[in-house]
Amino acid sequence: MLDEIQILKEKALKALESVDSIDLLEQFRLEFLVKKGKIQSLFDKMKDAAKEEKPLIGKELNILRRSVEERFNELRERLSHQAETVPTLDLTLPGRRDFRGTYHPVLQVMERMVNIFKELGFTVAEGPDIEDGYHNFDALNFPPDHPARDMQDTFFIESDEQELVLRTHTSPVQIRVMQNQKPPIRCIMPGRVYRNEAINARSLAEFHQIEGLYIDKKVSFAELKGTLIKFSQKMYGENSKFRFRPSFFPFTEPSAELDISCFLCGGEGCRICKNTGWLEIAGCGMVHPNVLKAGGIDPEIYTGYAFGFGIERVAMLRTGIDDIRLFYENDVRVLRQL
């Protein structure tokens, strides 16, 4: 039996020399050191040995167990330390790309539009998002019973002193510019606007507009058409198709809407263009005399035109997105494409 002890000792220590991971060390423990392992099996055989041999056999078995356990514990400590300090790398994994941030697509379009109008001689004016009722409605020739004043279209702000609203358009900036600047006036007003509307593929409750105003002596509707067509050609290309339709706005007379052929269906009709083949991109018209008076300008001497674009609608045309909500759902799969 002493020979068996020596052979098992050599086998166990040699097996430990080839162990280089926690998993292999665990396999060694299950083979040699558990209650039903090979070392314990020799202890169980000692009862069959001769009485006079048992002391020597017991001594050698204890030496076997102690030497194997000591080597096992040293190896376990070393491998555990390596597992904590050395990260496991999977070299078969694909590399990770770093993505650079950029401007939001709506801001990119706004910047492009502003730059085009600057090339056409317009300056930039700004105004507050929270407006009083006079600048948002009264000065723009909205009658007291106009539907836009209802809660269905306007976000009202509680105030004991005056009527305050989240501006429903950037047109109030036109009034402020006219009140503080003498003609000739040629400026654009980009900014965020708010309307209490249902959110769907074509409209939001919070969006962006860019409006323009030109006031001088003998300004004509032909100049308005020329300006908008020139802008649209720079924005969408020289071969783009446009049309003007008569319309109505309280602050302009006469009024019109500018349409562009639908980018999705090619003019054949779809849900975005409401099966008309055209998409409205701007409202425009000659500034109403009452609006000129509210701005402190004599309509007998000066005339002017105004226009307004919905920036998200323009962004949809440029990017090919067919749902306006995608701009603000923060889906990086969409935004990285833009």
Alpha-carbon distance of 263 to 60, in angstroms, equals 91
Alpha-carbon distance of 213 to 176, in angstroms, equals 12
**Locus of tokens 């706004």:** 110
- DSSP-derived letter for residue 182 is P
Contact 325, 106 (CB under 8 A): no
Q: In terms of DSSP bridges, do strands 303-310 and 278-287 run parallel, antiparallel, or are they unpaired?
A: antiparallel
pLDDT, mean over the chain = 85
Pick the more confident residue, 327 or 302: 302
Alpha-carbon distance of 173 to 180, in angstroms, equals 11
Q: In terms of DSSP bridges, do strands 206-216 and 278-287 run parallel, antiparallel, or are they unpaired?
A: unpaired
Length of the chain: 338
What is the pLDDT at residue 238? 80
Amino acid at 45: K
User: What tens digit of pLDDT does each residue of 21-71 get?
Assistant: 888 888 888 887 887 788 788 777 777 777 777 788 778 878 878 888 888
What is the pLDDT at residue 227? 94
What pTM was estimated for this model as a whole?
0.67
What is the pLDDT at residue 83? 60
Q: Pull the structure tokens for residue 308.
A: 């307004």
Nearest to 117 by CA among 261, 41, 228: 228
Mean pLDDT calculated for residue range 224-232 = 92
Alpha-carbon distance of 330 to 10, in angstroms, equals 65
Alpha-carbon distance of 201 to 325, in angstroms, equals 6
What is the pLDDT at residue 264? 67
Convert 93-128 to b/e letters by CB count within 10 Å (16 or more is b).
eeeeeeeeeeeebbeebbebbeebbeeeebeebebe
Instruction: Give the pLDDT band of residue 296 (cuts 50, 70, 90).
Output: very high
Mean pLDDT calculated for residue range 1-13 = 79
Nearest to 318 by CA among 281, 283, 282, 273: 281
What is the pLDDT at residue 173? 95
Pick the more confident residue, 237 or 167: 167
Q: If residue 286 lies in a helix (H) or strand (E), which one and from where to where?
A: strand 278-287
Nearest to 192 by CA among 329, 321, 312: 312
- Range ranked top by mean pLDDT from 1-5, 22-26, 241-245: 241-245
What is the pLDDT at residue 112? 93
Q: Pull the structure tokens for residue 160.
A: 């004991």
Does residue 72 register a pLDDT over 70?
Answer: yes
Q: Pull the structure tokens for residue 47.
A: 């009862």
**Locus of tokens 């054949």:** 268
Distant-in-sequence, close-in-space partners of 134: CB < 8 Å, separation ≥ 6: none
User: What tens digit of pLDDT does each residue of 108-126 get?
Assistant: 899 999 999 999 999 999 9
